[in-house]
Structure 1
Amino acid sequence: MSQPDPSRPAVHHLVPTPAGRTHVVEQGSGPLVLLVHGFPEFWYSWRHQLPALAAAGFRAAAIDVRGYGRSSKPAGIEAYRMLDLVADSAAVVAALGERTAVIVGHDWGANIAANAALLRPDVFTALGMLSVPYAPRGGPRPTEAFARIGGDEEFYVRYFQEPGRAEAEIEPDVRAWLAGFYAGLSADTMSPPDAPSLYFVPPGGRLSDRFPQGRAPGWLTEADLETYAGEFERTGLTGALNRYRAIDRDWADLAAWDGDPIRQPSLFIGGAVDASTAWMADAIAAFPDTLPGLVSSHLLDDCGHWVQQERAADVNRLLLDWLRALPLPAPGCPAPGWLGPAA
């Protein structure tokens, strides 16, 4: 393994993928670790992990998922199916000159990473998930399931389904909306447990009606907020929201993998006060069956949804402990070329 140079700055470049192009930010040399962000973020959510992984002897590469940042933004909901996002991830690995990679994702990125490991085990040799645990495909059509919860109120995923509806709420003041959303899901600024849930929209209301006001989470500096807001003011939110709008298509596309486990070495890190880990407690409990290669699972006390930003040092330590124990191949092998998703 070549010696890493932690002082070397991150490099930005574009690589060809089925999306058209994917923006990659990479730092370091060594075994490739592909980092996949969630909603509403972009590569920048991994800013604390890139230098830490590089200093530890890994080649860390954080992407902008299609629809975000400097990556391509195909038109139409069909372009945001999980199969396409998995194909993009595999193509990035090949474009970076590697045959295999470890894949680590947060939020929607955790879903993308899990499905990449499931569908392309030839490429993705290990899986890390942050905030959102793996739950195999199954059950009723997702939008039908979401329509049944909340009573008179509307679950946020259902609220996001209609094209243009959430955009009309968010885009007039992207900065304020993002600030409220980030605060609402952060441990130090989220509303108390007995307050109305911000994940549900009352009749005639908006998602932001229940955001905490005037409180910034400790992990989010003014410069960080300006970076996030500036990017989404430039790109809009439609590409990001189209991921939610493709969930029924995923349910149909992934029928052949219904209930399938992921067998590669895996890691899960969640926040103990994150609604995602509470809602998906059954999925975490099922890890012995759904993730037979699980190495470790961690719930961080006093941590919300944005784990790698709220608790950067802890996440870096857990990631590195896990990565160092993996049997990783030597980097630099020529890639055979992207062959598309397994089917």
Structure 2
Amino acid sequence: MPEQPTQQPPGPVHRTVPVQGGRIHCVEQGSGPLVLLVHGFPESWYSWRHQLPVIAAAGYRAVAVDVRGYGRSSKPADVDAYRMLALVGDAVGVVSALGERTAAVIGHDWGSGIAAHAALLRPDVFTAVGMLSVPYTPPGGPRPSEVFAAMGGEEEFYVRYFQQPGRAEAEIEADVRGWLAGCYAGMSGPAVDPALYFVPAGARMADRFPSDGPPAWLTEADLDVYAGEFERTGFAGALNRYRTMDRDWEDLAPWNGAPLTQPSLFICGAADGSADWLSAAIDAFPTTLPGLVSSHLLPDTGHWVQQERPEEVGALLVDWLRTAYPAQP
């Protein structure tokens, strides 16, 4: 494991930059080649709080964004505005608005998909790609709605549960802080109950969440940050990403089966459900990620890998960046 730099850069700076059709809130630290950090659901730029200073100290300009629909970024009302092509456009727009021409892009959860597709569609801009928790799966295959409808038998897979506008919002927004605490705790390591991802008929997703507060890696103050953002914005924008998957399937058809050829990285918790139901995608990396530099499955770790194991993930990211996207010529 490489040693972490000891000299810390100045603290993070918040800014909002214009992109086509809206704005993206960014939190920036350090100087050097640009590294774009993209969060997943249900999070925000804050999920990268541990890695921002580490990447900056290694000689990079680390920028964590609020994805469209989250935090201080634009939240269009139209569900169609959240399709993958629009989110890739936001990522390209951020790079341009920051005065850069290229970047390494690293994503977690849905952010992993955004990072992967940004690298796939715009390899001229995104010259290295890191994916956390969700492995790269090339476009194509069966229609997503058909796949999720077939999962769980009489119970609903959570992605299907999220499809109807207003349904999941009504559950979550009735107790934002409690729902987030249960979601973060339930999907944390060292073990995750697979039943958490399925909703029985007439039940709520939260019915299977643990009820003893946030996990050990998340302080009450951290939970206040997440809850405060979602209390202000609501969940419709965040959930709308799940509601465009069939549209993405159509939009991305020209890239069906395409590999990612840039230098890449994958990090996942061994207890994460993605490591199980997407195991075939991980096994396919020699074909789908021919530029893969390293892949890591962290034991006793759940879905929130960069928050559950912040020091280890920070070190892995810096080690990979030094090979895939050097700060110095």
1:280 maps to amino acid: L
**Distance in 1 separating the partners of 2:224 and 2:35:** 27
C-alpha change, 1:19 and 1:315, in structure 2 (3 Å) is farther
CA distance in 1, matches of 2:129, 2:301: 22
Deviates more, 1:171-180 or 1:13-22: 13-22
* CA deviation profile, 1:299-318 (whole Å, cap 9, x unmatched): 00100000000000110111
| Superposition CA RMSD, Å | 1.6
Question: Is the CA contact (8 Å cut-off) linking 1:6 and 1:55 kept in structure 2?
Answer: yes
Unmatched 5+ stretches in structure 1: 332-343
Question: Does structure 2 conserve the Cα–Cα contact (< 8 Å) formed by 1:188 and 1:218?
Answer: no
> Any runs of at least 4 consecutive aligned residues in structure 1 with deviations exceeding 6 A, and if so which?
none
Q: Which residue is equivalent to 1:239?
A: 237
Shift, 1:188, TM fit: 4.4
Instruction: Name the counterpart of 2:31.
Output: 29
SS of the counterpart of 2:297?
strand
Structure 2 counterpart of 1:276, which letter? S
Q: How many residues align?
A: 325
In structure 2, list runs of 5 or more residues that go unmatched. 1-5
In the alignment, what sits opposite 1:83? 85
Residues 226 and 40 of structure 1, relative CA distance in 2, 3 Å threshold: same
Distance (Å, rounded) in 2 between the aligned partners of 1:327 and 1:57: 11
What is the 5 A alignment of 1:83-232?
83-188=85-190, 190-191=192-193, 197-232=195-230
> Aligned with 1:246: secondary structure?
helix
Q: Please say if residues 19 and 88 of structure 1, whose CA atoms lie closer than 8 Å, have aligned partners that are also in contact.
A: no
Q: Does 1:55 align with 2:71?
A: no
Match of residue 47 from structure 2: 45
Cα distance between partner residues in 1 of 2:180 and 2:191: 14
Deviates more, 1:155-164 or 1:135-144: 135-144
Equivalent in the alignment of 1:64: 66
Q: In structure 1, what residue type is equivalent to 2:148? A: F
1:252 to 2:243 alignment: no
Task: Select the residue among 8, 19, 35 that pairs with 1:6.
Answer: 8
Letter in 2 for 1:319: L
SS in 1 for 2:174: helix
CA contact (8 A) 1:5 1:54 kept: no
Deviations 1:202-223 (A, max 9, x none): 0101101100121431111000
CA–CA distance in structure 2, aligned partners of residues 48 and 293 of structure 1: 27
Matches of 2:249 and 2:183 in 1, distance apart? 27
- Name the SS of the counterpart of 2:151 in structure 1: coil
Return the letter of the residue paired with 1:48: H
* Structure 2 residue 287 is the aligned partner of structure 1 residue 289: yes
One-letter amino acid matched to 1:236? G
Alpha-carbon distance in 1 for matches of 2:265, 2:206: 33
- Please state how far the C-alpha of 1:6 moved relative to its aligned partner: 2.3
- Deviation at residue 149 of structure 1 after TM alignment: 1.3
Aligned sequence identity (%): 69
Cα drift, residue 329 of structure 1: 7.3
The answer for the alignment partner of 2:259 in structure 1 is 261
Partner residue of 1:314?
312
Query: By how many angstroms is 1:137 displaced?
Result: 1.2
Q: Deviations over 1:94-119 (max 9, x none)?
A: 11111000000000000000000000
Counterpart CA distance in 2 for 1:300 and 1:149 is 26
Residue in 1 that maps onto 2:3:
none
Paired position in structure 1 for 2:302: 304
Query: SS state of the match for residue 25, structure 1?
Result: strand
Contact 1:15/1:22 (8 A) holds in 2: yes
Q: Which deviates further from its counterpart, 295-304 or 134-143?
A: 134-143
Contact 1:189 1:217 in 2 (8 A): no
Query: Conserved in 1, the CA contact under 8 Å of 2:71 and 2:233?
Result: yes
How far has the Cα of 1:152 moved from its partner? 0.7
C-alpha displacement of 1:293: 0.2
Moved more, 321-330 or 252-261: 321-330
Amino acid corresponding to residue 39 of structure 2 in structure 1: H
Distance 1:217 1:87, change over 3 A: same
CA contact (8 A) 1:37 1:105 kept: yes
* Residues 327 and 237 of structure 1: CA distance in aligned 2, closer, same or farther (over 3 Å): closer
Q: Quick check: 2:192–2:271 contact (8 Å CA) kept in 1?
A: no
